[in-house]
Structure formats: structure tokens, C-alpha cells
Chain A
Amino acid sequence: MTPLQDLTTSFIGRLRARDSAAWFELWETFGPVLERQLARWGGGRIGRETVQDLSQETMASLASAIDRHDPNRGARFSTWLLAIARYTLSDELDRRTAQKRGGGKRAESLENLDQAAAGPSPDAEYELAVYDAKVEAALRALERGLDFVDFETFRMRVLEGRSGREVAQSLGTSEPTVSRRLARARDVLRGELQLIFQRYSFTEDELLEPARKGLAPSPNKGTDPTADAAFDEAIGDTYARIAQRRVGAARPPA
């Protein structure tokens, strides 16, 4: 078993064992992606609260499907997740139709989910959202793993794109200190990215996605300023996309 499969399988194992922390982690990471996707499919005809209910139902369906999941079948993690969301939505629409017309339609079997996941790949926007969700999870882990000032230094410099001098002035410190803190943050983040992508990847292609998008673990980390700058830029771009994605979203229920 490859290390990739090993890590993914152990996470799936935790899900199968109904480890609440693992489920919450999955929900926290991909819940918003599912909500967005369900809202897109709904095309404005499904209210926000229904979308939330559906995304929770997706998780419930996932809980039923997880016991039958075989990561060796070759489906991407993102596709697998989407197939379950699609199943949940179609089930809900069938239920509504049945309620309205007084008839009924048998729901699709969960057994077919892995086959459905192997079907046509979802669109690029969804794939990007899943990728961004993984990076966001790594950023959260980074925040938990770093001292507050170290993380704020990273946030100001990389996520908000301020200059080293500005950051140093804000924090009343020197630029070399800012650089040191940044280097520390990068190191931790690279490790977290590796862990997160290993955990939520079923295929080699998914695992190599960070490298394709400029987040490769640098062999010369800390000594190659160009690689660090490229890494920072890729993270900054991803964060901007993440932040933009929910701009204009509906307000939470009062």
C-alpha cells in the first residue's frame, strides 16, 4: 500500500469508525463546497436553508456510503464527494415531485455511487473549489500550529500582500524578524499541505495538484528565495479566490 493510500485509508477508516472528529473535519472542509455546488445545481430555485439541509443530508448519505467505498477503484476524491451530493439532490427532487404529484419514484441505490463517481468529471469550477478547500484546511491547521504573531505576520505578508517593511512597522519589529517568522510559517504550511492533500486524495493526480499549482514542497526551502516567493504568490492567489468566493453570499439566519 502506498503512503497515499495508507493515509487516505486511515482517514476513511476513522470515518467508518464514526469518529466524530473526522466527520466534523470533513464537514468543516468540504461542507461549504457542497453547499455551493448544490446551490449552483438548484439554479436559484432552492433556498439557502434547503441547501444547508441538503448538504447535511449529503454527509448523512456519505455516512451510509462510506462502508462500501473502495479507494482502489480509481475515482477522484472530489468526484466521489460530488456523486454523493448529486445523489442527495436528485433524491430530494424526487421526494418533492412525489409529494407534489402524489406519486413516487424509487431513489437511486447507494451501491451505484462509486460507479457514478467514475462517470464524467465535474466542471473545473467545482474542482478548483475542492482544491481551494484543501488549501483552506491547511491554512487553518497552520493557524492552529503557529504562534499568533507568527501567523499574523504570515497573514499580513502573504495573504494580504503587504510588504515586509510595512509588516515590520506594524508589529514593531525588524524585517529580518519578519522573514524568520515567514520562513517558519512556510515550513509548517508545506507540511500541512502535504498532510491534507494526502488525506483527501484518492489518486496520484489529485496528490500532485499542489505541485502543478505552485505549491510544491521546495527541495531548497528557505534557501531559494524565488521558490519561496512563488509559493507565497500561489498561496496568496488561492486565498484571494477563497475570500472572493463567499462575497455576496446570503447573510446567516438571524
Chain B
Amino acid sequence: MVPISAGFVAFVVGTAVTLVVPVLAFWLLYRVFQVLFAVLGGGARLVGSGARRIGRFVQGVMVDSLHLVGGVITAGVIFPLSVANVLIGRMGAARHYGRALEDELMSSLLSLYRIGLGHPARLFGLSILTDGVERRIPELVARAPRTGAVPARRAAAPRFAGYDIERELPAGGSGARLFLARVSRDKARDLAQRGHAPLGKVVIKCFDRSFGSTLPQIVRESRALEAAKRLGHVLEHELDNDHFHYVMPYVPGEDLDVITRRLHAESGDGGLDRRALAKVLGYTSDLCATLERFHAEGLWHKDIKPANLLVSGDRLQVVDLGLVTPLASALTLTTHGTEYFRDPELVRLAMRGVKVHEVDGVKFDLYSAGAVLFSMLENSFPAHGSLSRLTKPVPEALAWIVRRAMSDISQRYASATVMRRDVAALLAAQDPFSVRPAELPSFRAAQDEPRAALAAAPAVGAAERAETYRRAADSSARHEGSTPPPRTAPVSAASARRCRRRQSLAAYGLVAMALCMAGGVKSLHAYRSEGAAVRPYAKAAAGHASRNQSVSVAPPAMTPAALRGKVLVYLDPGVASDSAWRPLVERVSESGFEPVGLEGNAQDIDWLAAVGRIVEGAPLAEPTTVARVERWLSLHEDELSAVLWLGQGSRPGAVAAKLVAVTDSDTAAPLTSEGSACSSAGDSLGAARAFLECDSVSLSR
């Protein structure tokens, strides 16, 4: 053992100290300077900001002082003119100069207010205070009932049998007058007999040509009345040649704008607190639920915005049915609606002169719902549409919901139900901030192929939509005196063409991709349709025949062993969007399968669950679909048994199935051809079963 001398130890310690101490000293200096610079930088920013504020203050005060002086001088000139005209009896001219005088005085008073309060308040960061005075009061004044401009509207309130008018409410822009009224005892009894809940007060919206309402306004308002009555939004209505009114339940409450401002004022500048956020989620859920009911009745609200949403208690209610339109209406689409809460796409389509039934009104209501949610989160409006930035801290999953609702029409939520489910997921979460977009119910569809979700999502409401359009058609026929044409594909034929092109591309891509997998999968074997054994398909055909379906072309043969593993099913969007397939998405989900695009009837799903083979569908032909399938294959290549395509047959209404690829562990030859089977419409999984149930098919190479 070598003794360690004290000198050596001292040397080592000394060296270590010599090396470490400078490093520590540098680090310390670095930190000190970092803090110093941060403090100096902060100070400089503070000084800069203060200087800018003072500059703006001085500039504002100077400008307004000049305005004030100019206004007073002008008023001084106008006043004698006004008086002189009164004296010489020119009353019209006197009124003219009187109004000019009023304008000048108002302008001067405004300048005075800004000099005395507005600018100083802004200088000291109290702009919220001035915001209230400068914006809300003028807004309030602007929304007050008009006086003088339309003298006819000053006419006495009309009488409505069974209702006692309490007061007139501020009117909107629909050309109607609104009255708050008490329900008489007899009328209350009458309404109760018709199944309405007891009502103390009602709102009566009244159009009358004698006070300026026009026929188009009356027609527009009366368009969706029957459906609105079914929804409980309208109690009763009356229409004659010159007069039209309808009675709605009175909803005491404040509009969503007011509530939003209050929530933000209570939460502070850092965005909504947890309590406020929960309220916003609740309101959004209520809004989606209401829209679901509208859409199920075949109605498009068309004017969803904060001012048309009232919060009563803790519930959100939709009011103002002024623009409600039957979804299946044969009328030409108009641009009515409110900027920033109306999808610009609607304007674009309206300018093209399309009919209402040619667009998907549901999607436009959902855009508005997204814009309303944005406005609640930001206490502002989405000035840049879908590109608007959320500046306040919000859960990212909630931001995702806003984006999805306001995205391009082809990528938007397909129904209010889908949107409500996403909101419900956040409502159910203990901490909404911990929820990722990937965890939202709608995301699995959107994750890999957003358009797949959209192709499937119409199916989300397909059954109810079918009923919706039927009802809407009835409603429209009643109110418009015409039978609306059947609902066409939403938005445009161009998008349908794009979709079809993508389907073809993806089908080709899938085939190519499956063939390329030959090296990776144990083996992908060739089979030839001429070598197929017909017997199993005869069996399948018999099965189909019992359901009035038949297999018209024999599919390829394969060995049962080849089908032991999983089967990847590519479900064509044309089939996936068939409303008949829709109801089983839920069952697929419950069965533990991937719900995306895998749809079929109950027996098919049960059967699939039993054999455990079909595990995934990819209903949309997009490059992402191919990527998705590729990924799925890479994960399941050892289990993969076959790749199956189900889609539109060559005959109208027929469904075709193509076995794209099949694997066999014993051989290594690639596939060289495809087989196909056609069944009659609506049962592509039946065709799939024809492939998969075969038990003695030979595989030819």
C-alpha cells in the first residue's frame, strides 16, 4: 500500500480549489449580472411603457382640446342661425340648424369628457372604467327604441287577446315590435290544456304593416313557426293579411355578452378561473343541446351569437327566432346573420345563389357555436374567423373544440352531438387543463384522418338527419307551399368530386401499400379468381338471398388458415356515410373495436366480435389514411391475415368487396390479382362475411 503524503493531499485539494473556485465565481457573477439585467430590462420596459402612455395622453388631450374649441366656435356660429330661423318662421331650417347644433354640442361634450376623465383614466391604466362609459353607454343608447325616426312605430301597442301588455321591449333589427305581457287566467288555463308549463309572462313579437313591417319580414319570421312550436319556443301565433304575431315564453335573464363580461371581471386579467370556466363549459353544453334539438326538427337557427343567448339561472337559452330557416328549404340562401359569428363561407355560397337545402346549415350553426365559445373565453369576438388567436389561458382541449367548430366547413364537427360530447368530456374532467386534445371523444377520428371523422360524422346524426329532413320537408311544404327537393350533398358538388377522387387514390394507395408490405408481412400470397372455389360463396349467397341479397361474382379463394389473424377492413366513405350503417358505431365502440369508420348492422358486429378479425376501418381516402393503415400494418403485421376493401359497386346502389391482400405463413409469393364480390345494396359487411366465413377455399398461386 502506497502511503499518501500530506503534501500530495494538499496538492490535490489545492488543485481542486483552484479549478472550482473560479468556476463558482464566474457562475455567481453570471447569475448576478443576469438578475441585474433582468431588473434593468424590466425597469427600462416600465419606463418605456410609461413614456408611451404619457405621450398618448398628451397627444389625446391636445387633439380633444382642439376639437372642443372648434366645436364651441362652430356651435357659437350655428346658434344665432337657428334662433334667426325660428324668429323668421322657417321652422324646417331651424330644425336643421338645431340638429347641427346638437351634433356640435355632443361632440364638444364628448371631447370634454375625454379630456377630463377618459385620457387621465387611460394614463393610469383604468381603461376598463372608460370602456364601460365610452362603449356600453353608446351601445345602450343605440339599442334604445327609436323615437322620431319612424313615427308610425310610436303607434299605440296593439291588443292581443288573453295577454295584458306590461311594456314594450327594445326591438331588434327584424322590423318587429316586442312586448312583455302577462298571461290572463283564461289564457293560462288554455295554454296548460295544450301542454305548456304554467307561465306568468310572455314575450310577444309583433309585425304589422301599419308600423313599418314588410311582407318579406313577415314571411321570413313565419317560416319556421310550426317547428318552433314543437320545440316549445313558440306558444302560439296568428297571421292575417297585415298583421302577424307570435308568443314566446318570457326568459328572465341577461344576455351572454353581459355574463361574459362579468365572468371576466370576476376572474381578473389572467383569463377565466376554474369556476367561470365550468360555467362557460356548461353554457356551451346547453347551446349544443339546444342546437341538437333545432337540427333534429329540421331547423337552422342561423343567428347564434351572444346577444341571442340568455342566461337564466345557470342555464343558457336560445332566443330570437327571426332567422330560423328549415334546413330543407327550397329558398335561395341569404347572407343574413351577424358578422364574426357567421361563417364567411355562408356569404360565399349565398353570393353564388345556392339554395338553402344545398348547403349544410347545421355546420353553420356549429361555426357560430364555436365563435360564441371563443367570445366567452376571450371576452372578445373572433375578428379573424378560424385564424383568431386565443390569447387568454384556456385548456388546450377547449381551444381545440373552438378550432374544430370554426374550422373549414369540410372539417368541422358534423353535428352538435359530437361537439357536445367533447364539451362533456371536459366538464367531466377534474382538471380541464390536464385534458389533451388527443383525449377528446372526437379526436380518435380526427387524429389520423380528419376527413374520415367527417365522413363518418354525418353518419353520427344520419338516422336523426333522415328524420330531420323528412320533418323539415313536411314543415317546408306547409309553410312554403312547395315540396322541397331531396337534400343534396352538403356544400358543393366539387367537394363531393374531390372526395371521390380521394377515395380512388386511397384505394390505389392501399393496394400499392399492401403489396409493398410483402417483404414485411410474413408473406402476401397471390391468388387467382379462376382458382376460387364457389361453394362457400354459394353458401354466403344463400344467406344473402334469404335477405333478398345475392352474391353476383364469386370472390377469390383462400385457405381458412390464412384468416386466423386480424383482417384490416378498408371501408369506403360512400358506404361509411350510408345512414343505414350509422347506428352501430356505438356498438362497435362497446365491442372494443376501433370505432373509426367500422360500421355495420348488429348481426355483423356481433359476428365480427365473435371471430375477432376485423379490427379497423379506414373510411376516407386521404393520404393520411394510407399512412394510418401503414402504421396499423406495422403494428399488426404478425397477426395480419387479410386486407379487405368494401365500397361502392359498379351498379348504382351495389356494394362491392375486394380482397386486396391476404397473408399466408407457409408461402412467400406476392399477390398478383384481386378477387371481388358484389352484393346488393347496403350490406357490405355481408359481403365481407362471404369472404371470411368460407371454410374450404383454395388459395391459388
B336 within 8 A of A: no
The answer on a CB contact under 8 Å between B257 and A254 is yes
B438 within 8 A of A: yes
Please report the C-alpha to C-alpha distance between residue A243 and residue B396 in the assembled complex, in whole angstroms.
18
A interface residue count range (under 10 / 10 to 19 / 20 to 34 / 35 or more) = 35 or more
Instruction: Give the residue of A20, A160, A173, A242 whose beta carbon is less than 8 angstroms from that of B447.
Output: A173
Instruction: Give the residue of A24, A239, A252 whose beta carbon is less than 8 angstroms from that of B339.
Output: A252
Write out the residue numbers on chain A whose beta carbons fall within 8 Å of the beta carbon of B257. Answer: 251, 254
Please report the C-alpha to C-alpha distance between residue A243 and residue B374 in the assembled complex, in whole angstroms.
14
The answer on a CB contact under 8 Å between A24 and B408 is no
Please report the C-alpha to C-alpha distance between residue A170 and residue B396 in the assembled complex, in whole angstroms.
8
The answer on a CB contact under 8 Å between B384 and A243 is yes
The answer on a CB contact under 8 Å between B447 and A24 is no
Please report the C-alpha to C-alpha distance between residue A22 and residue B344 in the assembled complex, in whole angstroms.
14
Please report the C-alpha to C-alpha distance between residue A246 and residue B381 in the assembled complex, in whole angstroms.
10
Write out the residue numbers on chain B whose beta carbons fall within 8 Å of the beta carbon of A136. Answer: 384, 387
Instruction: Give the residue of B63, B385, B447 whose beta carbon is less than 8 angstroms from that of A171.
Output: B447
The answer on a CB contact under 8 Å between A246 and B143 is no
Contact pattern, A 11-26, Cβ under 8 Å of B = 1, otherwise 0:
0000000001101100
Please count how many residues in chain B sit with their CB below 8 Å of the partner chain's CB atoms.
47
Please report the C-alpha to C-alpha distance between residue A23 and residue B411 in the assembled complex, in whole angstroms.
25
The answer on a CB contact under 8 Å between B438 and A171 is yes
The answer on a CB contact under 8 Å between B380 and A152 is no
The answer on a CB contact under 8 Å between A148 and B446 is yes
Best-buried of A21, A149, A253 by chain B (most CB within 10 Å): A149
Min C-beta distance of A124 to chain B, whole Å: 19
Contact pattern, A 239-250, Cβ under 8 Å of B = 1, otherwise 0:
100110011011
Min C-beta distance of B247 to chain A, whole Å: 24
Q: A21-B351, A148-B407, A246-B384 are in contact. Are A172 and B446 (CB under 8 A)?
A: no
Contact pattern, A 213-254, Cβ under 8 Å of B = 1, otherwise 0:
000000000000000000000000001001100110111111
The answer on a CB contact under 8 Å between B450 and A147 is yes
A143 within 8 A of B: yes
Write out the residue numbers on chain A whose beta carbons fall within 8 Å of the beta carbon of B389. Answer: 159-160, 239, 243
B56 within 8 A of A: no
Please report the C-alpha to C-alpha distance between residue A170 and residue B617 in the assembled complex, in whole angstroms.
24
Instruction: Give the residue of A21, A139, A148 whose beta carbon is less than 8 angstroms from that of B348.
Output: A21
Please report the C-alpha to C-alpha distance between residue A23 and residue B347 in the assembled complex, in whole angstroms.
11
Write out the residue numbers on chain B whose beta carbons fall within 8 Å of the beta carbon of A24. Answer: 347-348, 351
A155 within 8 A of B: yes
Please report the C-alpha to C-alpha distance between residue A151 and residue B451 in the assembled complex, in whole angstroms.
13
Write out the residue numbers on chain A whose beta carbons fall within 8 Å of the beta carbon of B431. Answer: none
Please report the C-alpha to C-alpha distance between residue A55 and residue B411 in the assembled complex, in whole angstroms.
31
Min C-beta distance of A209 to chain B, whole Å: 20
Min C-beta distance of B279 to chain A, whole Å: 20
Contact pattern, B 368-409, Cβ under 8 Å of A = 1, otherwise 0:
000000000000110111111101000010001001100110
Write out the residue numbers on chain A whose beta carbons fall within 8 Å of the beta carbon of B593. Answer: none
B307 within 8 A of A: yes
The answer on a CB contact under 8 Å between B437 and A242 is no
Instruction: Give the residue of B383, B404, B407, B622 whose beta carbon is less than 8 angstroms from that of A246.
Output: B383
The answer on a CB contact under 8 Å between B380 and A251 is yes
Q: A21-B351, A28-B344, A254-B139 are in contact. Are A170 and B447 (CB under 8 A)?
A: no
Min C-beta distance of B354 to chain A, whole Å: 11
The answer on a CB contact under 8 Å between B388 and A243 is yes
Q: A155-B403, A170-B436 are in contact. Are A147 and B451 (CB under 8 A)?
A: yes
Please report the C-alpha to C-alpha distance between residue A211 and residue B411 in the assembled complex, in whole angstroms.
32
A140 within 8 A of B: yes
Write out the residue numbers on chain B whose beta carbons fall within 8 Å of the beta carbon of A251. Answer: 135, 139, 257, 380-381
Write out the residue numbers on chain A whose beta carbons fall within 8 Å of the beta carbon of B446. Answer: 148-149
Q: A136-B387, A252-B338, A254-B143 are in contact. Are A172 and B351 (CB under 8 A)?
A: no
B624 within 8 A of A: yes
Write out the residue numbers on chain A whose beta carbons fall within 8 Å of the beta carbon of B450. Answer: 147-150
Best-buried of B257, B351, B451 by chain A (most CB within 10 Å): B351
Please report the C-alpha to C-alpha distance between residue A171 and residue B389 in the assembled complex, in whole angstroms.
19
A212 within 8 A of B: no
User: Would you list which residues of chain A between 138 and 169 have a CB under 8 Å from chain B?
Assistant: 139-140, 143-144, 147-152, 155, 159-160, 169
User: Would you list which residues of chain B between 434 and 453 have a CB under 8 Å from chain A?
Assistant: 436-439, 443, 446-451
User: Would you list which residues of chain B between 418 and 477 have a CB under 8 Å from chain A?
Assistant: 436-439, 443, 446-451
Instruction: Give the residue of B307, B438, B624 whose beta carbon is less than 8 angstroms from that of A147.
Output: B624
B275 within 8 A of A: no
Min C-beta distance of A247 to chain B, whole Å: 7
Please report the C-alpha to C-alpha distance between residue A32 and residue B408 in the assembled complex, in whole angstroms.
20
B100 within 8 A of A: yes
The answer on a CB contact under 8 Å between A148 and B404 is yes
Q: A147-B450, A251-B135, A254-B307 are in contact. Are A242 and B143 (CB under 8 A)?
A: no
Contact pattern, B 126-140, Cβ under 8 Å of A = 1, otherwise 0:
000000000100010
A100 within 8 A of B: yes
Contact pattern, A 128-141, Cβ under 8 Å of B = 1, otherwise 0:
00000000100110
B352 within 8 A of A: yes
The answer on a CB contact under 8 Å between A172 and B348 is no
Min C-beta distance of B86 to chain A, whole Å: 17
Instruction: Give the residue of A23, A143, A242, A250 whose beta carbon is less than 8 angstroms from that of B386.
Output: A143
User: Would you list which residues of chain B between 527 and 562 have a CB under 8 Å from chain A?
Assistant: none
Min C-beta distance of A194 to chain B, whole Å: 20
Min C-beta distance of B409 to chain A, whole Å: 9
Min C-beta distance of B578 to chain A, whole Å: 23
User: Would you list which residues of chain B between 238 and 289 have a CB under 8 Å from chain A?
Assistant: 257
The answer on a CB contact under 8 Å between A21 and B436 is no
Write out the residue numbers on chain A whose beta carbons fall within 8 Å of the beta carbon of B352. Answer: 20-21
**Nearest chain B residue, comparing its CB with the CB of A100:** B100
Please report the C-alpha to C-alpha distance between residue A28 and residue B385 in the assembled complex, in whole angstroms.
11
B211 within 8 A of A: no
**Nearest chain B residue, comparing its CB with the CB of A27:** B347
**Nearest chain B residue, comparing its CB with the CB of A143:** B408
User: Would you list which residues of chain B between 326 and 349 have a CB under 8 Å from chain A?
Assistant: 338-341, 344, 347-348
Q: A147-B624, A149-B446, A254-B139 are in contact. Are A170 and B348 (CB under 8 A)?
A: no
Please report the C-alpha to C-alpha distance between residue A148 and residue B622 in the assembled complex, in whole angstroms.
12
Please report the C-alpha to C-alpha distance between residue A23 and residue B420 in the assembled complex, in whole angstroms.
36
Q: Which 4 A-B pairs have the closest CB atoms?
A: A172-B438, A148-B450, A246-B383, A20-B351
Q: List 20 A-B contacts (CB under 8 A).
A: A20-B351, A21-B351, A21-B352, A24-B348, A24-B351, A32-B383, A143-B386, A148-B403, A148-B407, A148-B408, A148-B446, A148-B450, A149-B624, A242-B384, A250-B135, A251-B135, A252-B381, A254-B257, A254-B305, A254-B307
Given A24-B347, A148-B404, A159-B389, 12 other A-B residues pairs in contact with their CB atoms under 8 A: A23-B351, A24-B348, A136-B384, A139-B387, A147-B450, A148-B407, A172-B436, A173-B447, A242-B384, A243-B389, A252-B341, A254-B305
Residues on A close to B: CB < 8 A?
A: 20-21, 23-24, 28, 32, 43, 100, 136, 139-140, 143-144, 147-152, 155, 159-160, 169-173, 239, 242-243, 246-247, 249-254
